[in-house]
Structure 1
């Protein structure tokens, strides 16, 4: 404990002659209260959290520097809330967007607008020391610059693969002063991915098409987290167009003729018509063979911890034989006494 932190050590170094010694009961009370006072004065030290400046470079190449680890955060992209929750840092989330209700613990928080158009006034009102945003369309960039103009630090990240997701996780660990929590979460998620990889390593890889939206068909592109999910689950995305999403014609889909068709359900594709009832889709191999699977948009298209759940789910669907439970062995029957 330094003198700088407790200047009163020098100011009251001597005890007045008229002061009476503490009675044993008071001595015990002071001894019990002192640790509580120190914990109140030094909350960062109590948690093992560094209290000095922290900085990272975000995925736009900008340095994000904070005078101390972030304690009040606003995520303009919901997956970052899930990432913070998985690090057990839900208590540091100060607000949410209108569309984000996961984890359930953030549903009572103030709403600051939408992912693309947050209200600067509402964001300022919750006094964040860090805002997290996903790199995306022009509108998202404009919102970021508006918040920075108000003096609010904003980190912008790009996630199109698990390696990029883990890179974001490590930097969030730095910005929150919790690198150990970030490392532990990364290790746990990687272990689950490795377990899937070991099971599907020698399996044939079916082509897996991912419908982002229909009509005006959009598919998962080569640079999306979905493509990495498919690959790690033991499949292959036949769409090779660059970008997170790719616009496809029905003719191109028929040419690709995927083995498996994943039908996303969520805000981007709220009520998709079953492919078997669409004109021309009935000829697709996936439809003819009943290999159409409806999946949750939040799990597959939102690059966060639940993307690992998506890998496990899809691997079981693509390769059910390697996930079959091991038959229970029958215990030998004890010989009966003669």
Structure 2
């Protein structure tokens, strides 16, 4: 067993405990939160490639990319000769993952549950795959998440929608069983969209009935649409209270929606956007944030 040491990866220091001799030397990480976990646990120096959703820390962005996590190319991954292929369970398509398994790729699938407890379980799963002790990181992240619970529970829920895109003039919004809906609920918001899971276009009639008070949207999507005026000019949003209040809240999707080691900080920051008058506790400085 190698003695306790500290591995730095893009400024993310490990609180992971001792690294063992079995630490994989060539790791490919697929999924932004999975990559963040690997760096937070001190394995950043062993990661040789990541997918396009892996945007943090900066050292991850500098690594070779293998494409989008839901459109994996098995041949390219196999050609990297990884000792460990850390895959978010949302990675795909399923046929590509099946090909990788059939080829004997050293896959460890990491669960994605968008809750504080789910984040802690994700960190522990990555730690187990890396053969390190991840208890300290998992417990710290969960403690930070729980520190916000009472204050958030006391807030009046804001009726909000999350807009993923606005193809052909209709906003595509999040229903149930999405990371966006889970984070809205964790931040003192009520997802105004109900009745379906996943993402669907929103009609003007449905938008008028839902009457959202706020729109949460990824900052790069808002920029691509042409800004707040262009977004609120879409017929489905022009008939909502947001068109008058202009409560459009841009976020960094890789930060707020990934449910990785920075999940508590993301929860706090989105809660402050949704509830600017809320008093929230400061969170401790963490090496991985």
TM-score scaled by length of structure 2: 0.78
- Where does structure 2 lack aligned partners over 5 or more consecutive residues? 5-17, 282-289
Higher relative contact order, structure no. (Cα contacts within 8 Å, ≥ 6 residues apart): 2
Return the alpha-carbon distance in structure 1 between the equivalents of residues 219 and 87 of structure 2.
23
SS in structure 1 at match of 2:224: coil
Q: Which residue of 2 aligns with 1:311?
A: 267
CA distance in 2 between partners of 1:255 and 1:150 (Å): 51
* Counterpart pick for 1:175 among 104, 118, 129: 129
Counterpart CA distance in 1 for 2:37 and 2:186 is 20
SS in 2 for 1:131: strand
Match of 2:178 among 219, 224, 227: 224
Q: How does 1:32-47 map to 2 (within 5 A)?
A: 44-47=1-4
CA positional deviation for 1:209: 0.8
Name which one, 1 or 2, has greater alpha-carbon Rg: 1
Shift in CA distance, 101/235, structure 1 to aligned 2, threshold 3 Å: closer
Pick the aligned partner of 1:284 from 220, 231, 240. 240
Give the whole-Å Cα distance in 2 for the aligned partners of 1:269 and 1:70. 40
Residue among 75, 95, 102 paired with 2:56: 102
> Residue 156 of structure 1: which of 84, 109, 117 is its match?
109
Unaligned runs of 5+ in 1: 1-43, 52-67, 326-338
Shift of 1:90: 0.7
- The answer to whether the 8 Å contact 2:120/2:139 transfers is no
Note the C-alpha offset of 1:158: 4.1
Say how many residue pairs are matched.
262
The worse-fitting range, judged by mean Cα deviation, of 155-164 and 167-176 is: 155-164
Out of 247, 257, 278, the residue aligned to residue 301 of structure 1 is: 257
* Aligned partner (choices 258, 278, 282) of residue 212 of structure 2: 258
Q: 2:147 aligns with which of 173, 195, 198?
A: 195
Q: With the length of structure 1 as denominator, give the TM-score of the two structures.
A: 0.68
CA distance in 2, matches of 1:217, 1:156: 32
Distance 1:228 1:119, change over 3 A: closer
Residue 108 of structure 1: CA displacement? 4.1
CA distance 1:245–1:169, shift in 2 (3 Å): farther
1:185 aligned residue: 137
Q: Tell me how large the CA RMSD over aligned residues is.
A: 2.7
Match in the other structure for 1:145: 98
Q: Deviations for 1:276-333, whole angstroms, at most 9, x for unmatched residues? A: 32235233112312322112221233332343333111211222223389xxxxxxxx
Q: Distance in 1 between matches of 2:271 and 2:114?
A: 17
Asked if 1:207 is matched to 2:164, the reply is no
CA distance in 2, matches of 1:303, 1:247: 25
TM-aligned CA deviation for residue 242 of structure 1: 4.5
Distance in 2, Cα, partners of 1:105 & 1:111: 12
User: What does 1:242-257 correspond to in 2, within 5 Å?
Assistant: 242-257=196-211
SS at match of 1:88: coil
- Paired residues for 1:41-80 under 5 Å: 44-47=1-4, 48-50=18-20, 68-80=22-34
1:209-259 CA-partner distances (Å, limit 9, x unpaired): 111111343212221222222122111112234434344323212211112
Structure 1 counterpart SS, 2:225: coil
- Other structure's SS at 1:174 match: helix
Trace 1:125-140 onto structure 2 (pairs within 5 A): 125-136=79-90, 139-140=92-93
Q: Distance in 1 between matches of 2:280 and 2:32?
A: 34
Structure 1 pair 142/235, CA: closer, same or farther in 2 (3 Å)?
Answer: same
